[in-house]
Amino acid sequence: MKVIVCGAGQVGENIARYLCTEANNIVVIDRSAGLISRLSDTLDVQGIVGHASSPPILEQAGAADADMIIAVTQSDEVNMVACQVAHSLFSVPTKIARVRNQAYLDPIWADLFSRENMPIDVVISPEIEVARAIARRLQVPGAFDMIPMADGLVRVIGVACGEDCPIVNTPLRQLTGLFPDLNIEIIAIMRGDRPIVPSANDQMLPGDEVYFVTEASHVGRAMAAFGHEESEARRIVILGGGNIGLTLATDIEESYPGVSARIIEHNRDRATEIAGRLNRITVLHGDALDPEILEEANVHSAETVVAVTNDDEVNILSSLLAKRYGAERVITLINSTTYNLLVGSLGIDAVVSPRSITASTILQHVRRGRIKAVHSLRDGFAEVIEAEALETSSLINTPIKNIRLPTGVIIGALVRGGEVIIARPSTVIKPHDRVVLLAAAESVRKIEKLFAVRLEFF
């Protein structure tokens, strides 16, 4: 597959990194010669310095025979025009654009991106996606990640194992026998900076971060088994009133009437603006690192503090201050991967990565076969995938233990006619089952083939 990525920033680099490991033909366009040089030196991609919406530059990038264009430059307008040019002049089949300005996404302008006007197949708004990801974490206190799959019937939960976790130091193959009510499947373990796709003989250790699959109705019992029985947050403080903070606050007002929230915003004009757009959430003008402002916002009694300013350092430091002043839990937005190994030891409960969330959203439109949803884990070491099993697939009508799965693949759950079945060695996949699985990065292409309409089994 030939893909043109417009923009060599963090999101563009992430997308290129994911795709170039899968034998795709990737071309990256950016106006910065430095970014293009760095990308070309580290990844197997072709780099072109130029304006992403320029017809000659797109022609040079091979748009005439490209399968897809993914426009993720810093400019919404460049992204939109790049897709328009790719459609009008080069007939590129699939066009994806990142659009950050919420004015373009207002429902009253819903026809803007129609095929007759500006034919963009998928519009990605990072701010909306990040706000949704934070809202999902608020639904499962104690989890650092929560991914709904199969129309919300299945949950993929990320949780930390403490010293008092009842199910640590037990081989995974023994969990079902020792804890018969624990209807989950462990699909990934993070041990320090080492990700593990576990086998039946592996075990969880104190300090591990674990991803497991379970039925939505079973989440509470599963979290209790990991020693997490925190109550859902009713008092929330949001640090930062940008697009993410405002979107999250609006979602809280509309969907969580029993939750009270406050926003701290540093810019006076912005604070005034968002105060006029919110009905029952209090907006405070001030510095998220100012103890007096944190006290005025009642951080000491907050069950959750969400730090979503546009500065990683401010988010980290304000989160630590909030914990020091009594906040039960902090969720922190961090763009840079530099701090990944640091935040856990500092006591930050959950980290939100905009570039990872944006990449996951884009990847589900890139994946081939009958793949319905994709979520990238920890800088792309693996993907959680939801796919439909077809009659032609070699997966069906065979117990999972007898299926020759690619290395680094674990089947977590099936959904059959609205019923959730947690995968066990004896479980048999039927045609049209929706399968939720984890695939290590190097096995994703094989999974695409397994779920393709015409299967050529490897």
Residue range 49-85, pLDDT digits in tens: 999 999 999 999 999 999 999 999 999 999 999 999 9
For 117-168, write each residue's pLDDT tens digit: 888 999 988 888 999 999 988 889 889 999 999 999 999 999 999 888 889 9
Instruction: Let me know: does 261 contact 240? Beta carbons within 8 Å.
Output: no
Q: What gap in Å lies between CA 158 and CA 145, rounded to an integer?
A: 5
Q: How confident is the model at residue 453 (pLDDT cuts 50, 70, 90)?
A: low
The rounded percent of the chain whose pLDDT value lies above 70 is 97
Rounded to whole angstroms, the Cα distance separating 281 from 262 reads 6
Backbone torsion region of residue 180, taken as left when φ is above 0, otherwise alpha when ψ lies between -120 and 50, otherwise beta: alpha
Task: Provide φ and ψ at 292, rounded to 5°.
Answer: -65, -40
**pLDDT of the residue at 458:** 40
335-370 pLDDT, tens digit per residue, is 887 777 677 678 888 999 888 888 888 887 877 668
Please name the residues in contact with 201: beta carbons below 8 A apart, sequence gap of 6 or more: 171, 172, 173
Which tens digits make up the pLDDT trace of 392-444?
888 889 999 999 999 999 999 999 999 999 999 999 999 999 999 999 988 98
Domains in the chain and their CATH numbers? 2-124 (3.40.50.720), 130-225 (3.30.70.1450), 235-352 (3.40.50.720), 357-450 (3.30.70.1450)
Angle at 442 between CA 439 and CA 446, to 5 degrees: 70
Token representation of residue 425: 């060695």
| Cα gap 427→424, rounded to integer Å | 5
Q: Is the pLDDT of residue 26 over 70?
A: yes
Q: What is the separation of C-alpha 445 from the centre of its chain, rounded to a whole number of angstroms?
A: 20
Per-residue pLDDT at 195: 92
pLDDT of residue 455: 39
pLDDT at 317: 95
> How far is 169 from 377, CA to CA, in rounded Å?
24
Q: Can you name the residues that pair with 347 across neighbouring β-strands?
A: none
pLDDT at 251 over 50: yes
Task: Count other C-beta atoms under 10 Å from residue 16's C-beta.
Answer: 26
Residue 454 has pLDDT above 70, yes or no: no
